[in-house]
Amino acid sequence: MSAYEELDATALAESIVRGERTAEETTADALRVIDERNDELFAFVSVDREGALARARALDERRAAGEAPGPLHGVPVALKANMCLAGAEVSCASKILAGYRPPYTATFVQRLIDAGAVPVGMTNMDEFAMGSSSENSAFGVTRNPWDVTRTPGGSSSGSAVAVASGMVPIALGSDTGGSVRQPAAMCGIVGYKPTYGRVSRYGLVAFGSSLDQVSPFARSTRDACRVMEVISGPDELDSTCVDAPPVAAGAGTGALAGLRVGVPPEYFPDDLDADVRACVEAAIEAMRAKGAEIVPVSLPHTDVAIPTYYVVATAEASSNLARYDGVRYGPRAEGDGTLQGMFAATRDAGFGDEVKRRILLGTYVLSSGYHEAWYGRALRVRRLLADEFDVAFQEVDVVACPTAPTAAFSLGEKSADPVAMYLSDTMTVPASLAGLPACSVPCGFVGARDAQLPVGLQVIGRPLADELVLAVARAFEAATDHRRRPPRSAGGAA
């Protein structure tokens, strides 16, 4: 029997079903690794030890009573701290929601639980998912298991690290502009952002509602497929769900032979990190070697995606975050005693700087007199970006490019320069704006032999081509397999 940390979710579930281990033992394993590593890495902001063990025991009992196992039977799972599980602390790593315990459970969380998964805790993140490094968390930074002086990426930092460091085989993050794909790339794991609307957002605390998608982290593409099969599909509680059946689990099997892969030069700019470029070019070459046809495609508006994203996402965020007013939940500051004073004092004390910056930006772009010049124009550019992807997809089956312009950067390196931080999402934001499915899959390493950092290849597909994107990622993984586990103690090379 292999060690807990060696197995992916699919293998773990099968092993439990075969009776080689119990769900309770498996959850205990997860708690053990969390105990060993969380102080150093700070992946979890809270761990529900007793709740998880009780749920695992109940699964073992039901199995013993002859109940058929779900596809994630007994698999420990981590949830980003912006996902609602009744009774759990869902803080969004913000002081304004400190101690908040939702009275309800998100649709996708319930689907995981119904499939036999065992939520073990909530993971750290950039406050309200605004950030790319975990440095905007009100509760502390999460460290990259490959090099603890570096960021794991963000905003779904803790979920990525929980999976990469062996604490749990799978975790959920939310991807608004790259918040799952970018940390997946930087942590050397699989991160999959579905087509917008493929997974219900009911119970995901909103940041940019027209962009947010619940997205799995996994150590294998087959696990990502399995999670997608469980959590995707229409939900009567979210009317932005697309009317499409759940992503089929068999999606993970596909061949690269005959596949037309588009490579856009706009994703390989002059200032792209040279090692990342070499790594991704080698990955594309490997696809060609397996029979894929590599076709140059043009996505000329890629360079305006970032400003467009920061108008659309902040506009929506400024409205989505208006509910944190101290009236119904969360800590309240009294202010000058008036109602408006209470709102202002509560929000001033509760939100961090980056959240305030984005609320101000979003409020500005929706303001009378500026609305059309900013928000209106951003919507038109967004349409343009989607249209140019449509054109590209008439020529090719998928687009392949880097997930992020650099490997994991050092903590503190960009935290003083918001724009530099925003630019680390350059390659993930276009697919978010266009609502496209996109997968980051490990494609190699950069750096010195004793201080390697993972790099991700991003595979983007047309709307609803979730199965194809996952199949291509899986075929690439099978052909190259750059999956490795980070060194047990990454002291930091910097």
Partner 1 sequence: MSTAAAGVVSGQTGTRWIPVIGLEVHCQLDTRTKLFCGCEYSFGAEPNTITCPVCTAQPGALPVLNSAALEYAVRAALALNADVAPVSKFDRKNYFYCDLPKGYQISQFDLPYCTGGGIQLASGKFIRLTRIHMEEDAGKAIHDRGDATLVDLNRAGVPLIESVTEADMCSADEAHEYLTALKEIFQYIGVSDCDMEKGSLRCDVNVSVHPEGEPWRTKVEVKNLNSFRNVRASIQYEIARQIEAYETGDPAQYPEQETRLFDVAAGVTRTMRSKEDAHDYRYFPDPDLPLVTVDAVLIERQRGLLPELPVARRARYESELGLSAYDAGVMTAARDVADFFETVVRVGGDPKAAANWIANDVLRALSDPDVAASSILELLVKPNDLAELIALVGDGTVSKNAGREVLDEMLRSGARAKDVVQAMGLEQVQDTSQIDEWCRAALAGREATVADVRAGNLKAIGALMGPVMQASKGSADPQLVRAALLRIIGEEG
Closest CA to 236 of 205, 210, 201, 195: 201
Residue whose token pair is 């294998």: 220
Q: Which stretch binds partner 1 (CB under 8 A): 52-60, 131-139, 177-185, 318-326?
A: 318-326
Site residues for partner 1, window 331-350 (CB under 8 A)? 339-340, 343
Pick left, alpha or beta for residue 166 (phi over 0 → left; psi -120 to 50 → alpha; otherwise beta): left
Across the beta sheet with 170-175, the strand order is: 44-47, 118-123, 76-80, 170-175, 213-218, 190-193, 438-446, 453-461, 398-402, 260-263, 293-296
Q: Which residue in the set 4, 44, 192, 202 belongs to the binding site for partner 1 (CB under 8 A)?
A: 202
Decide: is 102 part of the binding site for partner 1 (CB under 8 A): yes
Which residue lies nearer to partner 1 by CB, 92 or 473? 92
Cβ-based nearer residue to partner 1, 236 or 271: 236
36 counts as binding partner 1 under rule CB under 8 A: no
Q: Which of 487, 479, 488 is nearest to 221 (CA)?
A: 479
Q: Which residue's structure tokens are 């593409």?
A: 221
Residues recognised as catalytic:
80, 155, 179
Question: Total residues contacting partner 1 (rule CB under 8 A)?
Answer: 45
Q: Which of 7, 205, 297, 345 binds partner 1 (CB under 8 A)?
A: 205
Q: How far is the CB of 331 from partner 1 (least distance, A)?
A: 14
Give 355 or 468: the residue with its C-beta nearer to partner 1.
355
Of the candidate spans 81-89, 118-126, 140-148, 485-493, the one that interacts with partner 1 by CB under 8 A turns out to be 81-89
Q: Which of 27, 124, 151, 318 binds partner 1 (CB under 8 A)?
A: 318
Question: Under the criterion CB under 8 A, does residue 97 sit at the interface with partner 1?
Answer: yes
Give the per-residue contact string, 106-145, with partner 1 (x = CB under 8 A; - = no).
Answer: x---------------------------------------
The C-alpha angle with vertex 218 and arms to 212 and 219, in degrees rounded to 5, equals: 150
User: Judged by CB, which is closer to partner 1: 257, or 322?
Assistant: 322
φ, ψ at 151 (rounded to 5°): -75, 150
Binding mask 362-401 for partner 1 (x = CB under 8 A): -x--xxx--x---x--------------------------
Query: Considering only CA atoms, which of 266, 229, 214 is closest in space to residue 402?
Result: 266
> Is the CB of 269 or the CB of 341 nearer to partner 1?
341
Q: Which of 50, 68, 270, 328 binds partner 1 (CB under 8 A)?
A: 328
Q: In whole angstroms, how close is the CB of 344 to partner 1 at the nearest point? A: 9
Is 415 a residue that touches partner 1 (CB under 8 A)? no
* Tally of CB atoms within 10 A around 58: 13
Q: Phi and psi at residue 335, in whole multiples of 5°?
A: 65, -145
Stretch that binds partner 1, among 161-169, 199-207, 391-399, 482-490 (CB under 8 A): 199-207
- Name the minimum Å distance from CB 83 to partner 1: 8
Residues in the chain: 494
> Which positions touch partner 1 (CB under 8 A)?
82-84, 90, 92, 97, 100, 102-104, 106, 201-206, 208-210, 236-240, 315-316, 318-319, 321-323, 325, 327-329, 339-340, 343, 363, 366-368, 371, 375
